[in-house]
Chain A
């Protein structure tokens, strides 16, 4: 088997066109990784400077009532993932700026895609674009005639008569082409490791990315060789595998992607806001002094502090009301945003199921997930930003309530020492260990495809037909 693989590689190396294309591929992959890294660094600097700018405004706030500061709020800027230079996934589509303020959980806004006319429908020229579209296609072109041309020239008969096992011959040819894919993949991964930032987490992710693409290339190499062996001539083999490639990469992702939204529909923004507003109105209205629920809360606090009026309270009841309002609001946000997030997750699971028919879908999902640019990581950012918002507003409301002011004293202010003491938003991207559970289906389907294509090569080729 090793002899056949080495022999195939010798043939590859002897072919000048393939050598030139390989050099071109290597240069493209390295320069694309380098460009991605440069873009990452630039974007990261801009993001960090925006975050610092907002923080310095917060740190230097003029003396202000805490509730006013809650309305003033803060902003969270979505950071760039370290492996954005490999695959930027959904990052151009999602917003980048999230306002964190009192009374409301906002949505993330200002996506890159909304800031200019439409560009590529397949994303930026990142390594993933080459690894997902170019290299598999090139592997197809290398493999489609691997058996059929041997068949047409009669060399196949010679090889079989020399005692070479039929399966070994076909499988070795697949493996030799797969190794070529792995070679280009190794170049990309090495370039990323040398040019980009590397830590343990990045290494884990890169290793998994390598394995995912390796699985996909294996499927492509085996399936193309299978078509080459199974079908009568080069043209049939090439047209069949190209049709499969087109269905996998162009048709199915879009059709299945659109269909999952029909299976698990999301509410319209209007309905979402209306139902949230309705639920929200059932709680305390922090800004309405005649609200009934506010009265109940007031009586509870008067009783607790054993006083007759709000003026006698040693604390500022307004802060208590605001926090009570927040707590109720949080339940409402959790219900409605939570429901949307659950729908997103169901949609993703259903989309991942398309991996049964389409290993490309599993690869794409894994690639953006492992690079930290898929919906799972996006939701993680949103959830952590919301957690921070709750912390920030609670700090402000507690200061309002227990900081030394009295009820009704809206002119009472706190100075920058307090604002500086409130922690800033520091987002830590989740480790792959925490999130790997979301990609089990993708891994499973890719491995199943590997298994199935190997079985196809082993059992579904009629020797008599071939010879």
Chain B
């Protein structure tokens, strides 16, 4: 046992005498720091933007409150969009849906650059509106990708391992003194393992320290401790998988160049070719969705609803929202166009929800297709796992869309209930709305 411990320690002196390996390790550490810093900067940017939006809508609320006071005093006339009507009061109740960045985002930007993270929600909103588009960014830069910790872990860690490990066992073969080593009562298997162990421990300690530092900085220990430990476990497994692959290569290798060739080819196949092939297959099987179903709802079917008569609108509303039967207006015998027309968005929302669920289903089918082959495409499995822990994956943004939909539904329910109950909105009621949607 002591002999192998000694080999591990001797490997340290080998490592410390190799400027090429030390420089590579320094570059790697810098890349981890740069990646985490990018994540940290994005968290800060998202938070700052959210704060700035919130401060903007606070001034709007103040203006509305003054307007209510002046209307109640009679010092101004009611404007065209009368705020005492529930529809306009809710229209003027600022409600934003935010996707607050998880502190774990410091470790992976994931798909966060593909989606918007704030949205002004009205009763006419949908979960596929234009304003949910990604932040303004150079598409070529997005295509090249950002150097975040996830990228460093998934793609650069194996490269660092290649640099560290390619000549282990190979150098001795190159110089033809490999057989001498086995004469000193060590097996090839254990000798290689002991040397690999040094680099494995070195890398794990390094990654754990850097992750813990950035975890502390971004506040994962307050809110995301489970995700953080899951990430640590994942890092451990991922590094172990690569070390094992390289161990097998070196065990059967016939010299440093041969090992380097095999290692870099394995990296190329696992990190570039296989993911690229699955990317291509998934595009063939599930081509880009041009969202024509959604576009049809947002135009033709919406316009078809507008064309209907007030009577039909009313009966459709009662059919879709049976609780309206218990409202004041439902007891009236005459049809009031001004009440019914303010509730049409509820009918459109029902259509939007239906088409949105179809779109989500088609995306989920594509996701399931990709996931089905994770066994053959392991690198992408790890990449998506890190994104999931960092809440920057497709599903985090699907949850965000569901959150937006719940706000739309809530707005519509208030419009329906209060309009059909003929509620007149005063300052206090408006404040209630504001509090509900805050």
- Contacts A57-B299, A116-B367, A123-B279 given; does A110 touch B272 at CB 8 Å: no
Interface residues of B in 358-413 (CB under 8 A from A): 363, 366-367, 370-371, 380, 383-384, 387, 393-395, 397
Cβ distance B273 to chain A, nearest Cβ, rounded Å: 7
Interface residues of A in 230-253 (CB under 8 A from B): 233-235, 238-239, 242-243, 246, 250-251, 253
Q: Which residues does chain B contribute within 8 Å of A144, judged by CB atoms?
A: 257
Check A54 for interface membership: any CB of B closer than 8 A. Answer: yes
Binding-face segment, A95-103, A187-195, A444-452 = A95-103
Cβ distance B397 to chain A, nearest Cβ, rounded Å: 8
Cβ distance B381 to chain A, nearest Cβ, rounded Å: 10
Q: Assess the B273–A134 pair: CB atoms within 8 A.
A: yes
Check A227 for interface membership: any CB of B closer than 8 A. Answer: no
Task: Give the nearest-CB partner of B142 in chain A.
Answer: A93
Q: Assess the B140–A35 pair: CB atoms within 8 A.
A: no
Q: Assess the A254–B138 pair: CB atoms within 8 A.
A: no
Task: Give the nearest-CB partner of A121 in chain B.
Answer: B145
Check B125 for interface membership: any CB of A closer than 8 A. Answer: no
Q: Assess the A261–B138 pair: CB atoms within 8 A.
A: yes
Cβ distance A355 to chain B, nearest Cβ, rounded Å: 14
Task: Give the nearest-CB partner of B299 in chain A.
Answer: A72
- Contacts A47-B290, A115-B363, A242-B260 given; does A123 touch B276 at CB 8 Å: yes
- Contacts A122-B275, A258-B141, A266-B136 given; does A117 touch B299 at CB 8 Å: no
Q: Assess the B380–A120 pair: CB atoms within 8 A.
A: yes
Q: Which residues does chain B contribute within 8 Å of A97, judged by CB atoms?
A: 290-291, 295
Check B118 for interface membership: any CB of A closer than 8 A. Answer: yes
A39 to B281, CA, bound (A): 9
Q: Which residues does chain A contribute within 8 Å of B142, judged by CB atoms?
A: 90, 93
Q: Which residues does chain B contribute within 8 Å of A43, judged by CB atoms?
A: 283, 287-288
Number of interface residues of A (CB under 8 A): 89
Q: Assess the A96–B290 pair: CB atoms within 8 A.
A: yes
Binding-face segment, B108-116, B213-221, B308-316, B338-346 = B108-116
Q: Assess the A116–B114 pair: CB atoms within 8 A.
A: no
Check A208 for interface membership: any CB of B closer than 8 A. Answer: no
Interface residues of A in 128-142 (CB under 8 A from B): 129, 133-134, 137, 141
Binding-face segment, A293-301, A303-311, A340-348, A406-414 = A340-348
- Contacts A119-B279, A134-B268 given; does A257 touch B140 at CB 8 Å: yes
A251 to B290, CA, bound (A): 34
Task: Give the nearest-CB partner of B137 in chain A.
Answer: A266
Q: Which residues does chain B contribute within 8 Å of A92, judged by CB atoms?
A: 143, 283
Our pick among B159, B256, B265, B280 for the contact of A126 (Cβ within 8 Å) is: B280
Binary per-residue interface labels of chain B (294-311) against chain A in the complex, 1 for a CB within 8 Å, 0 otherwise: 011001100100010000
Q: Which residues does chain B contribute within 8 Å of A348, judged by CB atoms?
A: 138, 140
Determine chain A's interface SS by DSSP, over half rule.
helix
- Contacts A258-B147, A351-B140 given; does A118 touch B393 at CB 8 Å: yes
A77 to B167, CA, bound (A): 53
- Contacts A116-B370, A125-B277 given; does A39 touch B283 at CB 8 Å: yes
Q: Assess the B130–A109 pair: CB atoms within 8 A.
A: yes
Binding-face segment, A158-166, A268-276, A383-391 = A268-276
A235 to B259, CA, bound (A): 10
Q: Which residues does chain B contribute within 8 Å of A109, judged by CB atoms?
A: 128, 130, 132-133
Q: Which residues does chain B contribute within 8 Å of A36, judged by CB atoms?
A: 280
Q: Which residues does chain A contribute within 8 Å of B367, judged by CB atoms?
A: 116-117
List the 10 shortest-distance A-B pairs measured between CB atoms, nearest first.
A120-B275, A125-B276, A50-B290, A254-B147, A124-B280, A90-B143, A119-B279, A120-B279, A125-B277, A112-B288
Interface residues of A (CB under 8 A from B): 32, 35-36, 38-39, 42-43, 46-47, 50, 53-54, 57, 62, 72-73, 75, 77, 89-90, 92-97, 99, 106-126, 129, 133-134, 137, 141, 144-145, 233-235, 238-239, 242-243, 246, 250-251, 253-255, 257-258, 260-261, 266-270, 272, 274, 340, 344, 347-348, 351, 365, 368, 374-375, 378
Interface residues of B (CB under 8 A from A): 20, 24, 27, 31, 34, 38, 45, 49, 52-53, 56, 110-111, 114-116, 118, 128, 130, 132-147, 151, 154-156, 159, 162-163, 166-167, 170-171, 174, 256-257, 260-261, 264-265, 268, 271-273, 275-280, 282-284, 286-292, 295-296, 299-300, 303, 307, 363, 366-367, 370-371, 380, 383-384, 387, 393-395, 397
Given contact pairs A96-B290, A120-B272, a sample of 7 additional A-B residue pairs in the complex whose CB atoms are under 8 Å apart: A32-B280, A72-B299, A75-B295, A97-B291, A109-B128, A258-B141, A269-B136
Supply 23 A–B pairs (Cβ within 8 Å), ascending by A. A42-B284, A89-B143, A93-B114, A107-B133, A109-B128, A110-B289, A111-B114, A114-B397, A117-B393, A120-B380, A123-B279, A124-B276, A125-B276, A125-B277, A129-B273, A134-B273, A145-B257, A254-B151, A255-B147, A258-B38, A258-B146, A269-B133, A375-B140
